Structure 1
Amino acid sequence: MSETKQYFVLRREGGTLKVSFEAVAMQVRGACAEIDGVTGISVAEASNEWVGQRGIVIERGEGEADCRIKVYITVLYGNVITETAAAVQENVKQAVESCLSLNVTSVDVYVSGITFPKQ
């Protein structure tokens, strides 16, 4: 994990726009929270990738605006996991592309746990 802040640098007609990996991770966290059945984001596995927010990995893609996202979630018991994961993929991609002007090439969802309702 790198200590220096990393950015996507988008060249525009009037100058450049820098979007930090941290800003992308915050957008991902918000998009996950909007999905019914997602109870949280869990710790990502140790790797050499950028892990800024717990359970969210951002990778730079081929182009200057391309990114790959990995998110580790926990799901509420009783929800259809494949449907919940698909909803997370779609919502994360839409949120990052529309709000941050990045091209999301993939959203990999890892269901790392199940949360049981409190009785």
Structure 2
Amino acid sequence: MDTTVDKKDKSSGLGSIRIADEVVSIIAGLAATEVDGIAGMSGGLVGGIAEMLGRKNFSKGVKVEVGEQEAAIDLYLIVKYGVRIPDIALLVQENVKKEIETMTGLRVVEVNIHVQGVGFPPEESREEEVVRVR
């Protein structure tokens, strides 16, 4: 579904601007993963298969509902182990809202965070941390 973003100055007569929902999804996914503390996005089986085939799916774990001038976003996240989830979720909400509004001109009415899992560091990193503690 494409979305038409109406400009305030309609007298110019230049035409309309259409932004695909997929574009809004990609912006939201990239903005979410920019936040330190996010291990990745949870996209289910289809997203995992696409990545195994070598295609990076930037809209994985993102659901958008886009109206004529507004957008609502649902993000399905995997957080890094040890972070404070409410703090990270707030940072993600703020970053996603800012990026979508800046890049598309749409007003973001809500950014819902669904924490789907916790990402742990690779095995050798955890072993190093245990050794340092002793």
Partner of 1:11: 6
Instruction: Give the Å deviation of 1:60.
Output: 2.8
1:68-79 to 2 correspondences below 5 Å = 68-79=72-83
> Number of matched residues?
105
Corresponding position of 1:117: 121
The structure 1 residue matched to 2:65, chosen from 59, 68, 75, is 59
**TM-score, normalised via structure 2 length:** 0.74
1:98 & 1:11 partners in 2: Cα distance?
15
**Identity across matched positions, percent:** 32
Name the residue aligned to 1:3: none
Q: Which has the higher helix share?
A: 2
Runs of 4+ in 1 over 4 A off after TM superposition: none
Larger radius of gyration: 2
For structure 2, list consecutive stretches of 5 or more residues without a partner in the other structure. 45-57, 124-134
Runs (5+) with no aligned partner, structure 1? 1-5, 45-51
Pairing 1:89–2:93 present: yes
- State the partner residue of 2:102: 98
